[in-house]
Amino acid sequence: MLVFPLLAVLLAGVPASYKAEKELPIVNRGIEEAALMLDQRHLQSELVLTPLPKVRKVRKVRINTKAKAANKKTGGFASSSSGPQSPLAKPLRIAGVVRIPPVLSTPLVDILRSHCLSIADAPSPDLSNVLLTLNRSDLRLPLKDPSVVSALDAILNGALGDLIEDVLTADAVLHELACLVSDPGSQRQVLHPDVGFTSELGIVTCFVALQDVSESMGPTVFMPGTHKAGFKELLEDEETRDELIKGRPSSLSLLNLGECAVFDGRILHAGTANVSLERRAMFYFSFRNPEFNPASGTSQGSLCRELRKEGVTLAEVRMKCKS
Ligand SMILES: O=C(O)CCC(=O)C(=O)O
């Protein structure tokens, strides 16, 4: 989850009215961006579903050492393991975002949703900074909660775990584990990537819908293809940013319960305004390439303190959560 780090630090713990004032330029820019996209409605579509491949029986866990050596020379990092790749790897590489069928059953979603919302509504939840805080919260989740463990077992010991291993290696490090809740009245964020640009894939994030998400509930909007070089600069330049938004197709992540949007941390995206009367809760987690060091200008990631200290890998989470 990206926050504008400096702004987030400055605003932590200040009165709500002051926060609202400080956030106003972002709120206004979000409204402008929404209008630009609305003008180009023909360029907007719903994120299409890509079928889930079969789960691999035998895990292939090895880092591509040749690629690693080559990457060292060019200042990059190894971005994939060797062997056959998940069929989801190609669409992720091309578009920067893939929507997949339910990775959690309805009973697992129901239990997880109640758990997350009960902590979100408790007196002092463990929240991380999120971009535009009005009626939006980003709840860090510990790995020990049974509903979280069961969800991660179902997801990571399935085809999505295989994909993450393929594109980031089994040594990928858990970077975020949280639940994003956008309540009615939450505002539209500005488009942003979650990380600074790197030539290789550094972070993969998975947003799992804990209820159906309709257009009025503030779904994430993605700009497919913008995880590639140059787009972050176009977005940051006042001269080019409007043209970029007007000229580029975007996709709304209208997920059904249990479905997942998997995305490259470099892609331009934003949470839109929740103008419905319903809560939108998204369970999410991300993994980072073990050699990827989130650059300055990147958030710490929404991860509770003890997990941050431990540096848990994909292989370890898979094993720990296995039922
Ligand atoms: O609300 C969403 O769907 C996206 C949130 C997001 O991208 C963020 O908070 O950085």
Give CA 11 to chain center in angstroms.
23
**pLDDT for 198:** 92
Give distance in angstroms: CA of 257 to centre of ligand 1.
Answer: 18
CATH code (residue 291): 2.60.120.620
**What share of the chain has pLDDT > 70, as a percent?**
85
The pTM of the full predicted model, rounded to 2 decimals, is: 0.89
SS3 118: helix
In total, how many domains does the chain have? 1
**Where do the DSSP E strands lie in the chain?**
44-46, 97-100, 127-128, 136-140, 173-182, 203-209, 220-222, 250-252, 260-264, 269-271, 280-288
Pocket around ligand 1 at a 6 A CB cut-off: 1-2, 130-131, 180, 182, 189, 220, 269, 271
Give distance in angstroms: CA of 134 to centre of ligand 1.
Answer: 13
The atom number, within ligand 1, closest to the CA of 194 reads 10
Give distance in angstroms: CA of 198 to centre of ligand 1.
Answer: 20
Q: Whose CA is nearest to atom 4 of ligand 1?
A: 271
The Cα–Cα gap between 110 and 196 comes to: 35
The pLDDT tens digits for 248-288 are 999 999 999 999 999 999 999 999 999 999 999 999 999 99
**Band of residue 6 on the pLDDT scale cut at 50, 70, 90:** very low
Give distance in angstroms: CA of 313 to centre of ligand 1.
Answer: 24
Q: Whose CA is nearest to atom 5 of ligand 1?
A: 271
